[in-house]
Chains A and B, each alone.
Chain A
Amino acid sequence: MFSGNAIVLVLLIPFFTAIALALLQGRPRLEKALSLASAVGLTAYVFGLTGYVDANGIQVTMLGGYAAPFGIAFVADRLACIMLCASMTVGTVVLLYASYTVSETQQRSFFFPLFHVVLLGVNWSFITGDLFNLFVAYEVMLIGSYGAMMVGASRQQVRQTMMYVAVNLVGGSLFVVGVALVYALAGTLNLADLAVKTAGMVGPRAAMFTAASMVLLLVFALKAAAFPLFSWLPDSYPVVPAGVNGYFAGVLTKVGVYSLLRVFVMAFRQDGSQVAADVLLLLSGFTMLLGVLGALCQWEMRRLLSWHIISQVGYMVMGIGLAADPRIAVAAVAATIYYVVHNIVVKSSLFLVAGVAEEVTGRIRLKEMGGVLTLAPFAAVLFFVAGFSIAGMPPFSGFLAKLSVFRVALDGRHFLVLSVAVITSFLTLMSMMKIWGYVFWGKPRASSGSRAWYGPAAATAVLIVVTIVLGVGGQPFVRLMVDAAADVVQPTAYVRAVLGDGVASLAALEGAQP
């Protein structure tokens, strides 16, 4: 059930669900039930898959039976499985949330089918083992996200989504440029084969390859919203309906971070590949500091949180940047993976709580909100936990995530970026206090009188439980993530699973230092 070809199920299920949901148009209840059932089933499946992969090794399927590196490989290794679990958990919760909050118009504009297309694209980008296929996965994800962003199609939504589309059109074209250059220099696009081919690459060809890889770095940094490519994010995310916003905020930027990890840490190993890490380390400091400074001066709840996404991406990019040093590479990648999982969960829950607060007060600006602690105490508790978690307070997952990234930076003696990260942490806490002070404390300034927030808040609580579990009982997860990181830093098992044992140059990869 989990071996070989079966991993394609993570694509087939959302694909056929999306089609079925589009056909169920006009039967809202049935549509909601099917979309939830499919998401819950797939979540259970990916958790099972993670257990299976952890016990039995990497699962590979070659589409059409063409042998690697010629055919397209789908690979489920530990890292891919962890990402699948995180994204599907959040996806399911968001679908549950959305089935309460979605309006009739939105549902009639194919909200649920589009959302499943986004899930398809995201899952696809996690399990693909081919660089060009990753581009296709990105496009599927983006096309779904354009639709889900515009759902309902108000003026403002179309205007902002147009900018988002324009940015991603350029990003997509640059992706193809990067793929073309990589293909011209390495002669392959299979990630495992790239790892083997680039491991022995030295001299001018390696230098050219490094230059070509910078195009891809640009593309992934754009998707992850790293400095200086983040300006598209804070404008486009707040126009999205609150439920979808949670998923977009949590998962879509992390697909960029995952791609950086997969491609730059695992696949590109040419002489001089640490240039990419140095660039990322430099960008990470700016990303986190400017992101949080941008957040501090916002006066709308979801816009403030959108700036926070950028700031948080800085920490993950920093972890990837630290991975260039072979002594701390595994620890750095493991810390990054933990951070990504933590952030997917917590960032989404913050946006979902923001949606609840907007529903309770009927307002979106901080100064017009207030007293949610009185109006909806349960929502306030949810925000308190999520806000503390993202600021890095124990015992929530944010503490462990930040601690492990900081430890790695300390071991690697990168004191400058470490101090920027610590300062950013304080500023993060400050901006969370700003929300807390304006929205949750004080006398109620506005109330919609709506009781429609119970269901959404209950859905959000699931994610809050996850952050507590990740923080308090994190040991088994950390073990899995360290193993996943070891597989990425030294991808012998990955290469062997994809290309088979008979790879002549596997020895070169084993001998080469990451």
Chain B
Amino acid sequence: MELPLALAIGLMFAGAVYSFLRPNLIRMVVGFGLLSNATNLLMIAAGGFTLEGLAPFVSDANEVAGLMDPLPPDIVLTAIVISFAVGALFLTMCYAVYRDYGTDDPEELPPPVADDETYRPRRARRPGYEE
């Protein structure tokens, strides 16, 4: 089972890197989806996944041979939840940026300059201050 898993993981990572490097916000989101699933698959592979492995329900403490390692699926479950939440946030932000700037190409965004909206102290400025 190792070769097909390794191939799948490698392919997904390659696809993720490719999409992440495209100048397009939505492709970055897709890339992140691929990336997180590639890592999850890697985690499963790291736990020694085999098709013959049995689900780790231990009825007799002496009979654990042939059971799968329960920890990697556990970790993957946590990782899925986290990547889902963060991915949703990321998608929302990409949409907000697209709405605000009218482009989905990160290279076309204006350079990160000081934005008065953010920087302005709460009180209004007094323009033309003279001594």
A and B are interacting partners? yes
Give me the interface of A with B, judged by CB distance under 8 Å: 101, 103, 132, 135-136, 139, 142-143, 146, 150, 152-163, 165-166, 169-170, 172-174, 176-177, 179-181, 183-184, 189, 235, 238-239, 241, 300, 303, 358-359, 362-365, 443-450, 452
Interface string of B71-91 (1 = CB under 8 A from A): 110010011001101110110
**Across the two chains, which residue of chain A brings its CB closest to B20?**
A170
Q: Is B123 a contact partner of A450 (Cβ separation < 8 A)?
A: yes
Chain B residues with Cβ below 8 Å from A136 are 78, 82
Chain A residues with Cβ below 8 Å from B101 are 155, 159
Q: Is B126 a contact partner of A448 (Cβ separation < 8 A)?
A: yes
Minimum CB–CB distance for B84 against chain A, Å: 12
Q: Is A177 a contact partner of B42 (Cβ separation < 8 A)?
A: yes
B114 close to chain A: CB less than 8 A: yes
Interface string of B81-125 (1 = CB under 8 A from A): 011011101100110110011000010010011110111111111
- Given contacts A176-B43, A183-B46, A448-B126, whether A158 and B131 have CB atoms under 8 Å apart is no
Chosen A-B contacts, 20 in total, with CB atoms closer than 8 Å, are: A132-B78, A153-B96, A155-B115, A157-B118, A158-B96, A158-B100, A159-B100, A162-B90, A163-B106, A165-B89, A166-B20, A170-B20, A179-B75, A180-B72, A183-B43, A184-B46, A184-B47, A241-B118, A364-B119, A446-B125
Given contacts A142-B86, A152-B118, A162-B94, 12 further A-B contacts (CB under 8 A): A136-B82, A155-B115, A166-B28, A172-B82, A173-B83, A176-B75, A180-B72, A183-B71, A238-B114, A239-B115, A364-B114, A445-B129
Q: Is A449 a contact partner of B131 (Cβ separation < 8 A)?
A: no
Q: Is B115 a contact partner of A166 (Cβ separation < 8 A)?
A: no
Chain B residues with Cβ below 8 Å from A165 are 86, 89-90, 93
Best-buried of A156, A239, A445 by chain B (most CB within 10 Å): A156
**Across the two chains, which residue of chain B brings its CB closest to A156?**
B115
Q: Is B86 a contact partner of A161 (Cβ separation < 8 A)?
A: no
Q: Is B78 a contact partner of A448 (Cβ separation < 8 A)?
A: no
Minimum CB–CB distance for B70 against chain A, Å: 10
- Given contacts A159-B112, A176-B79, A179-B43, whether A139 and B90 have CB atoms under 8 Å apart is no
CA distance A365 to B32 in the complex (A): 36
B68 close to chain A: CB less than 8 A: no
CA distance A146 to B85 in the complex (A): 12
- Given contacts A136-B82, A161-B93, A180-B42, whether A154 and B36 have CB atoms under 8 Å apart is no
Chain A residues with Cβ below 8 Å from B32 are 166, 169-170, 173
Q: Is B72 a contact partner of A176 (Cβ separation < 8 A)?
A: no
CA distance A153 to B115 in the complex (A): 12
**Across the two chains, which residue of chain B brings its CB closest to A160?**
B112
- Given contacts A143-B85, A155-B115, A161-B93, whether A449 and B123 have CB atoms under 8 Å apart is yes
B24 close to chain A: CB less than 8 A: no
- Given contacts A162-B97, A176-B39, A239-B112, whether A169 and B123 have CB atoms under 8 Å apart is no
Minimum CB–CB distance for B98 against chain A, Å: 10
CA distance A18 to B123 in the complex (A): 29
- Given contacts A235-B112, A449-B126, whether A183 and B35 have CB atoms under 8 Å apart is no
Minimum CB–CB distance for A144 against chain B, Å: 12
- Given contacts A136-B78, A154-B118, whether A443 and B35 have CB atoms under 8 Å apart is no
User: Which secondary structure dominates where chain A touches chain B?
Assistant: helix
Best-buried of B42, B46, B71 by chain A (most CB within 10 Å): B46
Chain A residues with Cβ below 8 Å from B20 are 166, 170
Minimum CB–CB distance for B114 against chain A, Å: 5
Chain B residues with Cβ below 8 Å from A173 are 32, 35-36, 38-39, 83
- Given contacts A179-B75, A183-B46, A365-B114, whether A158 and B126 have CB atoms under 8 Å apart is no
Chain A residues with Cβ below 8 Å from B120 are 362
Among all A-B residue pairs, the 10 with the closest Cβ atoms: A156-B115, A184-B46, A180-B46, A154-B117, A362-B125, A180-B43, A176-B39, A450-B123, A162-B93, A155-B100
CA distance A106 to B42 in the complex (A): 41
Q: Is B112 a contact partner of A143 (Cβ separation < 8 A)?
A: no
CA distance A158 to B91 in the complex (A): 12
Minimum CB–CB distance for A399 against chain B, Å: 33
Chain A residues with Cβ below 8 Å from B126 are 362, 447-449
Chain A residues with Cβ below 8 Å from B118 are 152, 154, 156-157, 239, 241
Q: Which of A159, A181, A444, A450 contacts B46 (CB 8 A)?
A: A181
- Given contacts A450-B121, A452-B123, whether A158 and B97 have CB atoms under 8 Å apart is yes
Chain A residues with Cβ below 8 Å from B35 are 169-170, 173
**Across the two chains, which residue of chain B brings its CB closest to A239?**
B118
Q: Which of B28, B82, B89, B97 contacts A146 (CB 8 A)?
A: B89
Chain B residues with Cβ below 8 Å from A156 are 112-113, 115, 117-118
Q: Is B115 a contact partner of A180 (Cβ separation < 8 A)?
A: no
Q: Is A101 a contact partner of B122 (Cβ separation < 8 A)?
A: yes
CA distance A53 to B112 in the complex (A): 46
Minimum CB–CB distance for B34 against chain A, Å: 10
CA distance A179 to B42 in the complex (A): 10
Q: Which of B40, B119, B129 contacts A176 (CB 8 A)?
A: B40
Chain B residues with Cβ below 8 Å from A364 are 114, 119
CA distance A165 to B95 in the complex (A): 14
Q: Is B72 a contact partner of A183 (Cβ separation < 8 A)?
A: yes
Q: Is A452 a contact partner of B121 (Cβ separation < 8 A)?
A: yes
Chain B residues with Cβ below 8 Å from A159 are 97, 100-101, 109, 112
Chain A residues with Cβ below 8 Å from B71 are 183, 189
**Across the two chains, which residue of chain B brings its CB closest to A362?**
B125
Chain A residues with Cβ below 8 Å from B87 are 169
Q: Is A362 a contact partner of B79 (Cβ separation < 8 A)?
A: no
CA distance A409 to B118 in the complex (A): 42
